């Protein structure tokens, strides 16, 4: 099991993101016929729903991602950045707001205005469009012909993060954010659910594609996010003039009123007045490592601590970043192979809450990730009958409300809400 997962992880290292595939992209019109994925109703005797196009078009923001580039906010961003072309013509924006393969890889029905289209996630369809509907088609064979392995957590989160965090090739810089681009955050399980999902994970899905576990997806999402952030920090994107790239740091460690004394860097043992790397995913990884590799958990904690110090005093920060990245790389195949038990879930949930009560979510981005994590884990515990999630609805709603607006976030109220959640888990919602 572990060996096959390891092999799979190595094989994935060569998986090319859809935008850079050598095959032609054929355009949404090639998928959306009512006899294909554009049915209004779901089909009873098909493995897949067949109404994927309708779900995507009506309710998925990806279908409108190109149109965003035509709005007033985008015009303002382009103006402030001094772009030579309008946003909807600039690869700087198109690389994430649509499926943007090079012109030679665009089929006849390809439309730039399709936005983040089917092929932006499922891969250029040139070699699999015909064969994927043959009776003898298998998922593996489709992948060999260029279908992107979206069912695999590691491959999927790399795909999502290529736009939702960015890569060396495409990136939302602090300058772009200061010009008006929103701050970005990502959590794989939550973002997969709110998509909304145009697929159903049922018995035949498991048979065709393997296992699906929301908590494992959350855990892998956190690990890969941390890994990608550290890679960016070490690469050319990590610098902007004299300064490091500020997007990789905690926004609110700089952006708050001076009278609001937070000294949040003290939490990680760095002194007052220090800018802190965005460590929300490291905080989540602490809980994950405790389940998956208890020996690695204290090592990771020590390395992250050393990284914060090195960033603050300028000594071998990049070496430290590399060390944390290497530890996380070793953790990822272990997370992929881990079966999260009832005890793990309870441990993660209470661990997340206790970290908050110890003041670890003094700043917004940690709290934001903690809420998404608590929701995913509570949801899973509810479905597997370990908790009466209905009894927690008010607590979860309160946590969401307290993190809905980063500018209004107050850690004291957040901690109070966590305390209420903890006592409710111990009494009302326990099974
Ligand atoms: C690295 C990928 C990436 C790049 C490059 C990028 N964006 Fe975005 N953009 C996103 C993502 C992802 C979101 C959604 C963020 C969220 O809601 O979490 C977004 C959101 C936005 C929004 C807000 C949309 C809304 O619904 O309110 C605007 C406006 C926007 N982008 C404009 C631009 C412009 C203009 C450019 C080029 C200067 C650009 N973006 C470049 C990924 C990118
Ligand atoms: C933002 C990425 C994204 C976009 C855009 C997207 N999909 Fe998907 N799709 C996924 C993910 C993730 C899954 C679930 C994992 C899997 O089954 O591989 C999925 C699953 C599917 C499945 C398989 C369901 C099953 O039971 O095996 C079909 C069919 C599908 N999508 C069709 C489409 C079509 C058609 C479009 C365009 C109208 C589209 N998708 C757009 C990400 C995307
Ligand atoms: C090619 C770039 C790209 C890829 C790949 C991509 N996204 Fe997105 N995503 C975007 C952009 C751009 C937006 C913003 C669209 C808008 O605001 O209209 C967005 C918006 C979203 C939103 C809505 C967020 C909100 O604030 O409402 C969700 C959820 C989401 N993406 C999930 C995913 C998931 C899950 C994956 C991976 C399976 C993924 N995305 C892959 C570019 C991408
Ligand atoms: C090291 C401190 C630091 C960090 C970290 C930081 N910023 Fe900034 N930010 C600044 C400075 C300095 C300016 C420029 C203010 C000015 O032009 O008056 C700025 C400007 C901005 C502006 C424009 C506001 C204005 O006054 O013009 C926005 C929006 C913004 N940042 C968002 C973010 C986001 C989102 C993050 C995290 C992803 C972030 N910043 C991280 C220091 C920081």
Same domain, 45 and 142: yes
Choice among 30-44, 97-111, 155-169, 296-310 with the minimum mean pLDDT: 30-44
Last residue of a domain, one of 98, 121, 148: 148
Name the domain count of the chain: 2
The residue-averaged pLDDT of 284-290 equals 94
pLDDT at 2 > cutoff 50: no
Same domain, 144 and 223: no
Residue 181 lies in a domain: no
Residue nearest to atom 27 of ligand 3 (CA): 61
CA-closest candidate to residue 370, choices 414, 408, 340: 414
Joined tokens for residue 45: 């005797």
97 lines ligand 3 (CB under 6 A): yes
CA–CA dist 133, 379 (Å, integer)? 35
Residue nearest to atom 43 of ligand 2 (CA): 121
Mean pLDDT for the chain? Answer: 90
Share of the chain above pLDDT 70, in %: 96
Same domain, 348 and 226: yes
Residue 183 lies in a domain: no
DSSP letters for 142-168? HHHTT---TTSHHHHHHHHHHHHT--S
Residue 153 lies in a domain: no
pLDDT tens, residue by residue, 13-52? 568 999 999 999 999 999 998 888 988 888 887 888 889 9
Dihedrals phi, psi of 143, to nearest 5 degrees: -65, -40
pLDDT tens, residue by residue, 343-387? 899 899 999 999 999 888 888 988 999 999 999 889 888 887 888
Report the separation in Å between the CA atom of 238 and the middle of ligand 4, taken as the mean of its atom positions: 16
Residue 179 lies in a domain: no
Residue 45 lies in a domain: yes
Residue 201 lies in a domain: no
Q: Which pLDDT score is estimated for 261?
A: 75
Joined tokens for residue 381: 């515990």
Contact residues of ligand 2, CB 6 A cut-off:
28, 31, 37, 47-48, 52-53, 56, 62, 116, 118, 120-122, 150-151, 156, 198-199, 205, 209
Last residue of a domain, one of 148, 170, 192: 148
**The CA-based dihedral angle spanning residues 205, 209, 214, 215, taken in that order and rounded to the nearest 10 degrees:** 140
Same domain, 272 and 401: yes
Residue nearest to atom 29 of ligand 4 (CA): 178
Q: List the domain range (segments joined by +) for residue 119.
A: 16-148
Same domain, 138 and 233: no
Same domain, 137 and 273: no
Going by C-beta distance under 8 Å and a sequence separation of 6 or more, which residues neighbour residue 41? 51
Last residue of a domain, one of 127, 148, 169: 148
- Pocket probe mutation, ligand 4, options 76, 172, 173, 174, max atoms within 8 Å of Cβ: 174
pLDDT tens, residue by residue, 41-94? 888 878 888 899 999 999 999 999 999 999 999 999 999 999 999 999 999 999
Residue 337 lies in a domain: yes
Report the separation in Å between the CA atom of 177 and the middle of ligand 1, taken as the mean of its atom positions: 9
Residue 309 lies in a domain: yes
CA–CA dist 303, 321 (Å, integer)? 9
Same domain, 226 and 136: no
3-state secondary structure of 117: coil
- Select the more confidently predicted residue: 430 or 143: 143
């Amino acid at each position: 099991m572990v060996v096959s997962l390891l092999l799979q992880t190595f094989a994935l290292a060569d998986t090319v993101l859809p935008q850079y595939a050598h095959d032609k992209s054929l355009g949404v019109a090639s998928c959306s016929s009512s006899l294909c994925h554009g049915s209004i109703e779901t089909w009873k005797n098909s493995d897949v729903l067949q109404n994927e196009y309708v779900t995507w078009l009506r309710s998925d923001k990806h279908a409108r991602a190109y149109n965003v580039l035509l709005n007033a906010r985008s015009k303002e961003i382009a103006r402030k950045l001094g772009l030579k072309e309008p946003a909807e013509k600039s690869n700087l924006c198109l690389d994430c707001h649509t499926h943007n393969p090079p012109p030679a890889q665009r089929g006849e029905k390809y439309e730039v205005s399709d936005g983040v289209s089917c092929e932006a996630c499922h891969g250029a369809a040139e070699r699999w469009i015909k064969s994927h509907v043959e009776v003898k088609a298998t998922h593996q064979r489709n992948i060999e012909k260029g279908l992107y392995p979206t069912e695999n957590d590691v491959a999927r989160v790399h795909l999502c993060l290529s736009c939702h965090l960015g890569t060396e090739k495409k990136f939302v810089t602090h300058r772009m954010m200061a010009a008006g681009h929103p701050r970005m955050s990502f959590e794989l399980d939550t973002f997969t659910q709110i998509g909304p999902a145009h697929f159903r994970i049922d018995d035949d899905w498991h048979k065709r594609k393997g296992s699906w576990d929301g908590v494992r997806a959350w855990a892998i999402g956190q690990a890969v996010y941390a890994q990608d952030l550290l890679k960016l920090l070490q690469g050319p994107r990590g610098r902007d003039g004299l300064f490091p790239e500020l997007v990789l740091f905690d926004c609110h460690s700089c952006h708050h009123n001076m009278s609001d004394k937070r000294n949040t860097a003290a939490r990680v043992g760095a002194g007052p007045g220090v800018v802190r790397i965005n460590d929300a995913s490291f905080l989540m990884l602490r809980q994950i490592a405790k389940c998956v590799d208890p020996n690695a958990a204290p090592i990771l904690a020590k390395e992250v601590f050393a990284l914060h110090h090195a960033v603050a005093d300028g000594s071998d920060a990049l070496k430290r970043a590399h060390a944390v990245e290497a530890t996380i790389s070793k953790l990822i195949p272990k997370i992929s192979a881990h079966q999260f038990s009832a005890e793990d879930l309870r441990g993660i949930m209470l661990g997340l809450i206790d970290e908050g009560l110890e003041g670890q979510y003094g700043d917004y981005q940690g709290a934001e990730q903690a809420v998404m994590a608590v929701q995913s884990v509570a949801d899973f515990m509810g479905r597997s009958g370990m908790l009466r999630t209905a009894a927690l609805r008010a607590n979860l709603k309160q946590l969401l409300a307290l993190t809905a607006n980063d500018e209004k976030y107050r850690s004291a109220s957040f901690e109070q809400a966590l305390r209420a959640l903890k006592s409710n888990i111990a009494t009302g919602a326990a099974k």
